[in-house]
Structure 1
Amino acid sequence: MSNITTDKTKNITSQHKHSWQDIFTGAQMLFVAFGALVLVPMLTKLDPNVALFTAGVGTLLFQLTTKGKVPVFLASSFAFIAPISFGVAQWGIPATLGGLVAAGFVFMFFAFLVKINGSHVIDRILPPVVTGPIIMVIGLSLAPVAVGMAMGKDINVPVEHYKLIIISMVSLLTTLIVAIWAKGFLKLLPIISGILVGYILSCLFGIVDFQPVINAPWFKVPDFTFPEFHWQAILYMIPIVIAPTIEHVGDIMAIGSVTGKDYTRDPGLQRTLLGDGLATSAAGLFGGPPCITYAEVIGAVTLTRNFKTRVMTWAAVWAILMSFVGKIGAFLSSIPTVVMGGIMVLLFGSIASVGINILIKHKVDLSVSRNMCIVSLVLVFGIGGMVFDFGSYALQGISLCGILAIVLNLILPRQEKSTDTH
């Protein structure tokens, strides 16, 4: 009898020990995602604390949808940086958020297509020749923004130009060094490392104002902003979902290869896409950027070999709790944009590189006329700033590129590469 009691006590103790480990591992997972998570709202004039809140809520919604089977964390999507910035300038934040809510329904529509036709329908609608150049445009169209930030064009504090260049380039160099040469867990934190070093330099050069951080309360309800629905903003945002959809499929396959499970079958790609859609729409309803599966956290799962979904649950809980700490938002707002600019140079370039890699990986033959035409037109329309103005609505940017690529892929006849028979 005493042996049974001892065994029960050991089991209870072990469970408590594992519970505490899961709680702290969840905090570690959030730390991995933190830099990129808050970067999107800081660049798009959204509230970082709201982004933390919606990342947590989005992750919990994803886990409910996928029956808690996929160990991933959802957070801010880089693919939406340019569209959100344009939308805020064009229609304001509430209308842009309405477009983001609608974008979530596009994920759900893709989930429905997969449910009806199988996962191959995504490849049929969005083959590499379509997604590759679109993702390239997302990165390259942001290049002037990154360079402008890195040069400190929006810094109002009187400071010598060379100091701003030093800050941005040191931030960039730190991010590069950590991404390439760092080992273990540190390798997962290139963005945070770059921000930290750049922030310290900014303090030394006297361009950081600490007063807002001092004045900010410890507890503060996030500044939730609720959406307004304008059809122009909705039509603009809908095609943007093309790139994150492809990223989502890649992330789900990547985490499956790490854990040795096929998540495209169980719980199914239709459920994971639905989870992304619900998370994105929920984020828009509260005033946060779209939430999608996060590659940084997948890297952390690969390194730690911790495949527990409840760890991601705790990461979501930590994100929600941190969103109510007022000083976090104030501190993030105090980071000079010149620090972000240095990191953005690498980040936006890496987005374009992903698009190039898609074309190379899938062996898209650009000597075939239809492929060359699709890629060429998408790049020139996107980077050149082509606008189709219909009076009350203008089609431009990534939305125009997305529609153009899909239509060209559907209507242009398929042809084989011409070969010299002589």
Structure 2
Amino acid sequence: MGEKGKVIYDASVLGWRKMAILGLQHMFAMFGATILVPILVNSYFHGEGLSVQVTLFFAGVGTILFHLFAKLKVPAFLGSSFAFLGGFATVAELKTGIFADMTYGEKLPYACGGIVVAGLLYLVLSLFIKLVGVRKVMHFLPPVVTGPIIICIGLSLAPSAVSNAAVNPILAIIALSIVIIFNIWGKGMWKIIPILMGVVISYVVAVVMHLAGMTNVDGSAILDFAPIASASWVGVQPFVIAKFDLTAILVMAPIAMATMMEHVGDISAISATTGNNFLEDPGLHRTLWGDGLATALAGMFGGPANTTYGENTGVLELSKVYDPKVVRLAAVYAIIISFIPKITDVIGTMPTAIIGGISFVLYGMISAIGVRNVVENKVDFTKSRNLIVAAVILVTGLGFSDGFTFTIGSTAVTLTSLALAAIFGIVLNAILPGNDYSFGENYKGDINRGVSFNNNVEAEADNV
């Protein structure tokens, strides 16, 4: 929309019609990844997981809430966070304490309760940053800690991708191939939405295969259209009220450390893209506060954690339109769609194999971004202290597959592998001498601290 690279900070000069189209573009950029989170969580909870309607509703509401706290200055969209997928998968399979005799649907509110606490941790960090400054806080969360933890998040989900893909390997390969083709060879807007294109095109292929009489490996039908026929066109979101248990909180809450780093990276990326230092004005404490409240609110009523989306940063770079009003239009679109069950039920028929195929690249990319975090921040592994910190995090995060369960009074508490890895990593980094990381010195590295991709801001970062 920006002609010949001309930057536009006030989209009203384009007229409301073009603004509406730009908002639609932002919605499509976030749509594929945002709805994929509840689809994946539903596979963990055997059909009793998150609602696509609720997810879209809180993506829209959360984005607007974020903008209010950011003084309406930051053009960021808040979509579903993939970082919490491992936590959802773990809570779904908890079999200790009160979870021993629960159905999958009964466990979901406790996972959401953990997300509420994770969101509140944002508020704690926000207050701390306001009091002592961002550089001092980030000194305790260097890339040698956050990088390996992000790597663990992706690799811990790998078995889920393989098992889902095995349901129909041909369909999974098609979905994976489409995502790769659009991500590598796509141009313009097509490069920004590889996941959405992977979902849409492979779903069309699945319909053709289904009509041709083909089945999954186990003989089951590829698609089931029955829920779509019975769904209404207009309906209220099926909200779920969060419940709280210490074990579930300890599963979900530590993941906030990774998503808070993702937030810092995305706000840095948006700053580099638009030429505005949003870390200073409105301030990182304000953007964290908005993100945390959006996450806590979503979790309280049965939605996934929210996070700032790198995909939408790519749209900013593509369009050269940096007006936050356009992003707020996308949020309104998401809220409207959340009231249409017919659309969300079509999404709910997504074949498991497609989810598996897309997860191959998605989960692997999460881990790869952890590696990029370490590389671009120039972590020095010739130092023994850095090797020790990273080694302990990786072995703990991948080795304790069943976590560590202990009893406090009469309550069984389970620390998951990721929670243990986060605790060990932060403590080791704090007590071992030689932590020389300083946030802000390597701007390009700081941008790539999050679990996102297609930021498309490398050139701007190099010029900072």
**Normalising by the residue count of structure 2, what TM-score does the alignment of the two structures yield?**
0.82
Aligned residues of 1:368 and 1:415 also touching (Cα < 8 A): no
User: 1:55·1:74 contact (CA, 8 Å) conserved in 2?
Assistant: yes
Contact 1:80 1:290 in 2 (8 A): yes
Deviations 1:149-197 (A, max 9, x none): 1111xxxxxxxxxxx2111011101100000001011111100111122
Shift of 1:205: 2.1
Q: Percent identity?
A: 42
Q: Secondary structure at the match of 2:73?
A: coil
CA–CA distance in structure 1, aligned partners of residues 50 and 89 of structure 2: 10
Alpha-carbon distance in structure 1 between the residues aligned to 2:370 and 2:12: 45
Change in Cα spacing, 1:327 to 1:415, as seen in structure 2 (3 Å) is closer
Bigger Rg over Cα: 1
Q: Does 1:82 align with 2:86?
A: yes
- The 1:148/1:314 distance shift into structure 2, 3 A limit, reads same
Aligned to 1:205, the other structure's residue is in SS state: helix
Residue 199 of structure 2, aligned match among 190, 195, 198: 195
Matched, 1:291 2:311: no
Letter in 1 for 2:266: D
1:310-340 superposed Cα distances (whole Å, 9 cap, x missing partner): 1111111111110010111111110101001
Counterpart of 2:280, as a letter, is R
The answer to whether structure 1 residue 242 and structure 2 residue 257 are counterparts is yes
Matched-pair contact (CA < 8 Å) for 2:404–2:417 = no
1-structure distance, mates of 2:142, 2:308: 20
Which stretch of the first structure deviates more once superposed, 133-142 or 206-215? 206-215
Q: Which residue of 2 aligns with 1:396?
A: 416
In the alignment, the residues of structure 2 paired with residue 380 and residue 234 of structure 1 have an alpha-carbon distance, to the nearest angstrom, of 22
CA distance in 1: counterparts of 2:63 and 2:233, whole angstroms: 25
Q: Is the 8 A contact 1:54 1:286 kept in 2?
A: no
What are the within-5 Å matches in structure 2 for residues 233-312 of structure 1? 233-312=248-327
Gaps of 5+ in 1: 1-13, 153-163, 417-422
**CA separation of 1:17 and 1:346: change in aligned 2, threshold 3 A:** closer
Q: Which moved more, 1:117-126 or 1:263-272?
A: 117-126
Structure-1 separation of matches of 2:406 and 2:193 = 45
Aligned with 2:157 (options 142, 148, 153): 142
Task: Tell me the equivalent position of 1:46.
Answer: 50
Q: Which residue does the alignment assign to 1:123?
A: 138
- The more displaced of 251-260 and 87-96 is 87-96
Query: Structure 1 residues 415, 42: closer, same or farther in 2, change over 3 A?
Result: closer
Post-superposition shift, 1:75? 0.8
Looking at structure 2, the residues matched to 88 and 105 of structure 1 have their Cα atoms a distance apart, in angstroms, of: 22
Q: Does 1:34 align with 2:63?
A: no
Q: Following TM superposition, by how much is the alpha carbon of 1:204 offset from its aligned partner in structure 2, in angstroms?
A: 2.1
Q: Deviations over 1:1-26 (max 9, x none)?
A: xxxxxxxxxxxxx9697223222321
Aligned residues of 2:429 and 2:435 also touching (Cα < 8 A): no
Counterpart residue identity of residue 273, structure 2 = V
Name 2:116's counterpart in structure 1. 101
CA–CA distance in 2 between the matches of 1:30 and 1:109?
A: 30
Aligned counterpart, 1:213: 228
**CA distance in structure 1 between the partners assigned to 2:189 and 2:251 by the alignment:** 39
Query: 1:343 matched to which residue of 2?
Result: 358
**Residue of structure 2 aligned with 1:180, choices 184, 188, 202:** 184
What is the aligned counterpart of 2:341 among 326, 335, 352? 326
How far 1:260 sits from its partner (Å)?
0.5
Cα offset, 1:39, TM superposition: 0.6
User: What SS is found at the alignment partner of 1:125?
Assistant: coil
Name stretches of at least 5 consecutive residues in structure 2 with no aligned partner: 1-10, 42-48, 100-106, 211-221, 437-464
Cα distance in 1 between the residues matched to 2:418 and 2:283:
29
| Secondary structure of the structure 2 residue equivalent to 1:390 | strand
**Pick aligned residue for 1:20 from 17, 22, 40:** 17
Which amino acid in the other structure matches residue 227 of structure 2?
P
RMSD: 1.6
Kept in 1: contact 2:247–2:415 (CA 8 A): no
Amino acid at match of 1:363: K
Offset at residue 414 of structure 1 (A) = 2.5
Q: Which moved more, 1:102-111 or 1:396-405?
A: 396-405
